[in-house]
A and B are shown apart, each in its own frame.
Chain A
Amino acid sequence: MIKTAQDIKSYKKKLKEALEDEFLRKALDTFSTVYRENRPTVYQGIDFDGIKEEIAAGKDATLSHLTELFEEFKTNAEAAGAKVHVAKDAREANEIISAIAKENNVKKIIKSKSMTAEETSLNDHLEMDGFIVTETDLGEWIIQLRHEGPSHMVMPAIHLSRYQVGDLFEGVTQKKLDPENIDKLVKVAREVLRPAYLEADMGISGANFAIAESGALGLVTNEGNMRLVTTLPRVHVALVGYDKLIPDLKSMLKILKVLPRNATGQAITSYVTFIKGATECGSSPTDRKDMHIVFLDNGRLALAKDPVFSEALRCIRCGACANVCPIYSKVGGHKYGHVYIGAIGLILTLFYHGKENDRAIVRNCINCQACSSVCPVDIDLPYLIKKTYRAVLDQEGKTPAKNFFLSKVMKNRRLFHFILRRAYLAQKSFAGKEPMIRHLPLFFEKEHGYRSLPLIAKTPFRDKWMQLHTKVIHPKHNIALFCGCAIDFIYPEQGKALLDILKGHDVQVEFPMDQTCCGLPALMASEEETAKEVARQNLKAMDSANCDYILTLCASCGSHLKHNYLKVFKDDPNAPANLKAFTDKIIDFSSFMTNVLSVSSKEYKETREKVAYHSPCHLCRGLGVTHEPRKLIEIAGYEYVPSKDEDVCCGFGGSYSIDFPEISSEILKKKLDNVEKTDARILVTDCPGCILQLRGGMDKRCSKIQVKHIAEIISEVKK
């Protein structure tokens, strides 16, 4: 029986348990590293971006006429002797399957892996009705023996060690087993389950595809158990979600190019099976299989019509969103989903298992976009997770204090900036004379103490602007600086570094004073209305500067301005007219330096100082900029020293690091460990949020490594 925390307090308790589970931590950490390292090899020669767009478009077209496809499938499947059923919800699906079993005098049932059956808790229902149910997929059998739910959509027992499996199997066989010999453990399943296939009266499977044009099911498997489950017993029931309908074989073959690659790093699984109709079956009195297909709605048909959430139904259950998630790699399966695990699980849980099961887990997304970058059907997972949280809040009629504050304060720039200025005064009492806040005031819990915090600047960047501003007589480029709250109020020196660098390049820089927070924190708190309002204010503010580029020193602001502004105004008839022109002008610092100014090494003193680089999530995935910062480091005469997992999140995530400090600190720890393994003495990045996290962490561990914005190290070596 799956039990998911229904409030944040008990969720935190479960997270703590997971973080203390050393095997789990190590297993998931290795898994996520290996998965990411192997991925380029697995996709060699395949245009992943091209094919994912094609599949996503195909899936969207399918979702708009699921009922027609269902009718087509039904006609074709029934012509070949299958019986097609429809279940409106989980309970009805379970009842239909139980009734089929009763009609056929079934006693023993064998099952192959089906996430849909996990969704409906089918086994519990069938066992309650007196049937003996045996799972045959190795991972599913293991978790069935342990009375658990799956911890991963593809590898359901990834949370268990060989020793735990060994103990479990010793209990089953009553024989001593060597847990070091995994091959032998696997053979235990083979030997113990063989008789179960032969004795079973009914086999239950899921399906990966329901092909409308032929009425055939497509199944993608590795162990060979599904083939036995669908062959040996006299009755076969396939439980299939409506979202598995596809128009034709061509669509299936296309998805088959990415599904195994994304799921397990295989070019293809051991078995891909097509099953249509009532095939020959020697154990049936009629010599024909009694073949049933149960289509499960459980909210899918309504979801398919939802303008925002229908995208979630594109999911082909590859599990990759969990594989690359830095949070999943720390707390793992059962704590990162309900039945469906990983980023997609945080979304689907609301629709399939209700707000109670989603309200705590849905908050646990850091928005690093690692999941969406590997999603083979191009689901905008982090965005939908925030939308899902909003839906949970709306259903519950709740406004958390943070949301109340954000919506009240952020819409009013003057009030917002007033509060930031007051914070400078307030912090004095606990910062003392130190350059950072190293001991938090007592009202913070001790989990927050993993990093030192920066001080709010005495004079924000905007107040220095009049002195810093210079007029360029014949500018080659006109840019507007969008500086973001962190640089404006915490790190104004980073903004100043930019101005120093640009001197002599004939660049006219403007700083529109009415610019305010980009709005990302509001969107992250699911306050989309607030995000929209500040977007309007920024669009208006920046419009006043007649510029070719809007330059940001903050990757998070940059990617939010460029992509999320389009999202929040999507389908809005009152979207600002200059929206597209605005987003087209957004550029990050390194791209501007290398691609627009084409700076050369002659401008910089060659120091050959060793520099490690942290690639901010919102730069490498958000803005797709990976090459330019590394190139710029080299142009400026530094030696770029690669470190492990450069493009993995630092654990900041804005307010995420305040909401989930226990996870944020673990992600940070790994990042800093990786950097400290290099011989670099400087760690550079291009996002002030990451700097806050990384510098605070390095300070806490008294490291000699300095953390700097890329603009700072460039200005330091300018001739």
Chain B
Amino acid sequence: MQNPDLIKQMQEKAEAVQAIVSKIVCLEDAFQYIVDLTKAQGGQTVVAAGLAAKEQDLLKKQCKTADLTLLDFPLRPHADKIHTALTPVDWGIAETGTLVLDSTSEDIRIATMLAETHVAVLPASKIKPDSVSLEKELNAVLKTDAPIYYAFITGASRTADIERVLAVGVHGPKELHILIMEENNA
């Protein structure tokens, strides 16, 4: 179910916290987006975490053609070299423009925490109105005995610790791009 009101709210709330939101219709659009963005920002490296092997290969080729390097897993040895990170996310929360991402895999964490720019792909059907409507899904994850690292991400990292002046891009990504994927609308 893709609710246009929720998509609109998601976009507005995310933009209110300096996220850059675009619409795409398929994953290939995201690949093109990340390649173009990385080139435009003068970056040389790309990582992707959470993609299927086939998709990963496709992106790798696309990067190579564009003279960019898609870094291999595990990402830890490349931790200080990541320019752009691409990750799908599990859910969106329209009320606050929040992305919800299971970050239990260390590669996903390193990608989303250390990249200069984080590009997230959010399927429009996964946008929930508020955090309370995600309670059941969240609890299903949290209440198993498996170790878990789960993240709500809203905008890029920020601080107001010096004279209360807002500065975006502290220890986490300096920019957050959200690609809302509206399937079946192509």
Residues of A within 8 A of B (CB): 27, 31, 34, 76, 79-81, 136-139, 142, 155-158, 160-162, 165, 182-183, 185-187, 189-190, 193-195, 198, 211, 213-214, 216, 222-225, 227-228, 230-232, 249-250, 253, 256, 264, 266-283, 288-289, 291
Contact = CB atoms under 8 A, between A and B. Distances in A.
Contact of B79 (A186, A198, A266): A198
Contacts of A256: 131
Given A185-B162, A186-B159, A282-B76, A227 B151 contact: yes
Interface string B150-163: 11111111111111
Per CB-CB distance, the 9 closest pairs between chain A and chain B, nearest first, are: A224-B172, A277-B147, A224-B157, A139-B161, A272-B152, A214-B142, A274-B150, A223-B170, A225-B171
Give the residue among B76, B138, B162, B170 with the most A Cβ atoms within 10 A. B162
A79 B91 CA distance: 27
Contacts of A79: 145
Given A270-B155, A281-B106, 6 more contacts: A155-B160, A222-B170, A253-B135, A276-B148, A277-B146, A280-B147
Contact of A211 (B79, B98, B142, B161): B142
Interface residues of B, number: 50
Interface string B76-94: 1001100000000000000
16 contacts: A79-B145, A80-B147, A155-B164, A161-B163, A162-B165, A223-B161, A223-B171, A249-B139, A253-B131, A253-B135, A270-B154, A271-B152, A271-B153, A271-B172, A274-B148, A289-B147
B154 A268 contact: yes
B112 to A, nearest CB: 8
A219 to B, nearest CB: 10
Contacts of A155: 160-161, 164
A450 B109 CA distance: 59
Given A80-B148, A81-B147, A189 B163 contact: no
Contacts of A76: 143, 145
A80 B146 contact: yes
Contact of A227 (B113, B155, B162): B113
A187 B158 CA distance: 11
Contacts of A186: 159, 162, 167, 169-170
Given A165-B162, A183-B167, A223-B159, A273 B172 contact: no
Given A182-B163, A216-B148, A268-B98, A224 B170 contact: yes
A282 B164 CA distance: 36
A79 B143 CA distance: 11
A282 B149 contact: no
A320 to B, nearest CB: 14
A136 B142 contact: no
Contact of B151 (A157, A161, A165, A273): A273
